[in-house]
Amino acid sequence: MRSSFALVCAIVLVASVAGSMGHPASAEGAEPIKVLGLDVLSGPFKDIGERYLLGVKFAVEEINGSGGINGRPIKLYLDDSQLKPDVAQRKAIKYILDDGVKIIMGFTGTHVAKAVAQVAAKHKVIVVQYSAEADELTGKDHVPYVFRLALTTSMHAAATTAAFADKPHKKFYLLNQDYAYGHDVAKAYKKSLDRLKPGWQLAGEEYHPLATKDFAPYIQKIIAAGPDAVLTGNWGSDLSVLVKQAGKFGVKVPFGHQFLSDPVAMREIGEAAIGHFTSEVYMLGVDTPPNREFIERWHRKFKDTENPWPEFTIGKAYNTTMFMAAALKKANSDDADAVIRAWEGMAYESLIGRQVMRACDHQVQTPVAVAEIVPGPGKFYPFPFTGRVTLVPAENVSVPPKETGNKRCE
Amino acid sequence: MIPRRVFSPAAVGIVLVGVGLAPSVMSTSQVYSGTEVVILSLFAVSYNLLFGYLGLLSFGHSAYFGLGAYATALLLLHAPGVPLGPAIAGGTLAGAIGGVLIGNFCVRLSGPYFAMLTLAFGQLLFAVAWKWRAVTRGDDGFGGFLKHASLALPGTPESGSQHSLYYLVVALAVPVIAATWALMTKTPFGNVVVSIRQNEERAVFLGYDVFATKLITYTISAGLAGLAGSLSAIFHDFVSPSVIDLNLSTDVVLMTFIGGTTFFFGPVLGAVFFVYFGDFISALTDRWQVVMGLIFVFMVLYVPKGFIGLGRLIPSVRPRETRPETAP
């Protein structure tokens, strides 16, 4: 017993020491600015995380190719969050303490974003979010080390609602997933309808379980309610199955979506989505000079890969990284407090136009792209995809500081 | 039936000195992983009370881990100024109370029926955490509750540092694991538990109250899982349904199996392996779950006694087993 017990202890100790070996950074020449890209790279959502990090990687290559951050290159580390908050925290800690990472970029999953924010606050590193959209991340749960360059749920809903602002639609039906996010989206849609479509009517409001296989009962209800349009925040299989089945049931009214500018989803959904609307902080069709050049640079390099065009995930991550680099240049440091001082209130000419990092809640204020799905083949893909993009001005989607729930905005 | 030498003072000394001094030779990030390993070890040990000692395969053990985590987090959030002690005790108690209530139904069954019922209760509690958004914040979870609590421990440099968290976790988990070890291997109660697994009918005829013994073991197991969950909430300063989901319930099965169920400390090895090898392999390939799964299948098929069973290949370090594999 004694020997076996001692053996176990010995193994535990050796494993603990050997388990996560890393060396503190040593400065050579211009010391690199160390950035960790942490997103889901395994399991069913790995495709999303991979595409986001492709965008980050491309941006970092361009930044380093043009002299880095005031002469300092960015050293990029990439790792898998496994979509688990505890794993993401552990990996973040390892890169912060062992590799000297000063900036962490991510994350798919609000729970992962929240967990990493706690670590960032403790170790004083900057967190840059290109993905998770829950309002409270820059609202009541905001940690001042966190900057978000994605939309919030409220901004995203406002942008999709804006697609119907100048149209005659009056009766709206809300169909969303039955969990925290789905309920937040429905609430956000109602609020933006109040603002943008005074006198609107609620034709019905329904929540379905995550990963629903059969939307027939929900679609029957929609048909019975006879709305002018349906608003949803569905993503993943709940998005593609809903749209395809609605098409089969002959639902003719347009849908307002949040995640339909994704070629992976559109390849599968196809014609059923024609006439639907969607919105995003970046879309391929955004017609600005910097975006046209960006798309061309990307296409030249990646035209023979799985991602011949820098679609919304790649574009969002690229744009986020570029704005961050501009803030780092202005701060001329990777010290968290210096970056916060430099970035707060900073304006940036992005792929989609002028963006401003709001000082009180670190939420980017940005124009948002809205587009209708048109039949394929189009400029980018052979299947139906987003057509001409309209930009909703930042002030039309912005949430007033006082309504964010962020104490710093009161 | 269970030949055993007294827990050697030398072995105890080695462990205590080793665990106590480890942080001074480890980098802070290693201290961080070390803390996580200790928490998961406690959880895996609690699981093995059911599986290794009672022979009950549970698929819902994260329910108690989650109860402990949420109870502690909610206490710290809604009762500002509550000291850590009562918050941790509250989490442990929440796990134990959940164990009495749910165990009362489950331990009446065995085999697949037990497994299915624990799975059902586990999913029920998960659904509560997922849906009761007013309290649990649903899928998004909540964090930052630790700022209300005082974490300054005597002898540690700064409040809330990785080191003070490590010592807090070790100071609670190690004695608790040791006490559980003593209970299971040194006391008549432990003998009764093992005898029930080996031959339940005979235990009944010998006059033991099988139901009560099972329920008590289940409750202790749930309480320990609650303590592990509570420590995990404090350690991460964050809770979300991932502390109560099916993933965690299967992770603990994996840890326990890989480490070895026939030896009390086997699950500790499993937890070490799970954390370090899991991180190592997921850095190499995005198919790490396949690798983990293959290892699990291999262990179940060829080394059913886990890593501890591998040790048997070397005669000189062959660990004596806590219990014989089959009933005589």
Cβ–Cβ pairs < 8 A, chains A and B: 172
How would residue B282 be classed by pLDDT, with cut points 50, 70 and 90?
Answer: confident
User: Model confidence over A124-158: pLDDT tens digits?
Assistant: 999 999 999 999 999 988 999 999 999 999 999 99
pLDDT score recorded for residue A4: 53
For range B257-286, the mean pLDDT: 86
Terminal CA-CA length for chain A: 63
pLDDT score recorded for residue B22: 81
Angle subtended at Cα A314 by Cα A308 and Cα A320, rounded to the nearest 5 degrees: 150
CB contact under 8 A, B33 and A19: yes
CATH 2.60.40.1180 matches A155-280 = no
Q: Which two tokens stand for residue A10?
A: 């010995």
> What is the spatial distance between Cα A46 and Cα B313, in angstroms, rounded to a whole number?
40
Integer-rounded Cα radius of gyration of chain A: 22
- Three-state DSSP at A358 gives coil
Instruction: Count other Cβ atoms within 10 Å, centred on residue B85.
Output: 9
> What is the spatial distance between Cα A248 and Cα B246, in angstroms, rounded to a whole number?
35
Query: What residue spans define the domains of chain B?
Result: 27-246
Of A43, A90, A118, the CB nearest to B32: A90
Beta bridge partners of A280: A369
More confident residue, B29 or B256: B256
Q: Which two tokens stand for residue A82?
A: 């496994």
Residues of A with CB below 8 A from B29's CB?
20, 22, 93-94, 96-98
Q: Is the pLDDT of residue A272 over 80?
A: yes
More confident residue, B24 or A270: A270
Write down the mean pLDDT value for chain A.
Answer: 90
pLDDT score recorded for residue A318: 97
For range A62-87, the mean pLDDT: 93
Of B238, B247, B275, the CB nearest to A115: B238
Residues of B with CB below 8 A from A90's CB?
32-33, 36, 275, 279
For range A199-213, the mean pLDDT: 93
pLDDT score recorded for residue B289: 83
CB contact under 8 A, A22 and B28: no
- Asked if B257 is an interface residue toward chain A (Cβ–Cβ < 8 A), one would say no
CB contact under 8 A, A2 and B8: yes
Strand A33-39's sheet: what is its strand order? A74-80, A33-39, A103-106, A126-129, A146-148
Share of chain B above pLDDT 90, in %: 44
HSE, side-chain direction, 13 A CA sphere, residue A258: 28
**Among A8-22, A169-183, B78-92, B216-230, the least confident range:** A8-22
Instruction: With beta carbons less than 8 A apart as the criterion, state whether A106 and A91 touch.
Output: no
- Asked if B148 is an interface residue toward chain A (Cβ–Cβ < 8 A), one would say no
> What is the spatial distance between Cα B166 and Cα B151, in angstroms, rounded to a whole number?
12
pTM above 0.90, yes or no: no
For range B95-110, the mean pLDDT: 94
- Report A:156-195 residues touching B (Cβ under 8 A): 178-181, 183
User: Model confidence over A11-47: pLDDT tens digits?
Assistant: 544 444 443 343 333 334 589 999 999 999 988 888 8
Instruction: With beta carbons less than 8 A apart as the criterion, state whether A104 and A92 touch.
Output: yes
Instruction: With beta carbons less than 8 A apart as the criterion, state whether A126 and A339 touch.
Output: yes
DSSP B164-210: HHHHHHHHHHHHHHHHHHHHHHHSHHHHHHHHHHH-HHHHHHTT--H
Instruction: With beta carbons less than 8 A apart as the criterion, state whether A312 and A400 touch.
Output: no
**Among A49-53, A157-161, A285-289, B200-204, the least confident range:** B200-204
Q: Is the pLDDT of residue A328 over 50?
A: yes
Convert B274-309 to b/e letters by CB count within 10 Å (16 or more is b). Answer: bbbbbbebbeeebebeeebeebeeebeeebebbbbb
**Among A14-23, A242-251, A306-315, the least confident range:** A14-23
Of B15, B238, B282, the CB nearest to A42: B282
Q: Where are the alpha helices (DSSP H) in chain B?
A: 9-25, 28-48, 62-78, 84-106, 111-131, 133-136, 162-186, 188-198, 200-205, 210-236, 246-259, 266-284, 288-302, 306-311
ipTM value: 0.77
**Among A28-32, B172-176, B229-233, the least confident range:** A28-32
For range B60-71, the mean pLDDT: 96
Q: Which two tokens stand for residue B79?
A: 């009762």
pLDDT score recorded for residue B157: 42
- Report B:88-147 residues touching A (Cβ under 8 A): 130-131, 133, 137-144
How would residue A276 be classed by pLDDT, with cut points 50, 70 and 90?
Answer: very high
Q: Is the pLDDT of residue B319 over 80?
A: no
Residues of A with CB below 8 A from B15's CB?
5, 9
Torsion sign (Cα): B307, B309, B315, B317: positive
Place of tokens 């980017």: A364
pLDDT score recorded for residue B2: 39
Strand A347-350's sheet: what is its strand order? A347-350, A353-357, A364-365
> What is the spatial distance between Cα A114 and Cα A143, in angstroms, rounded to a whole number?
9
Distance from CA of B16 to the nearest CA of A (A): 10
**Among A352-366, B140-154, B312-326, the least confident range:** B312-326
- Three-state DSSP at B43 gives helix
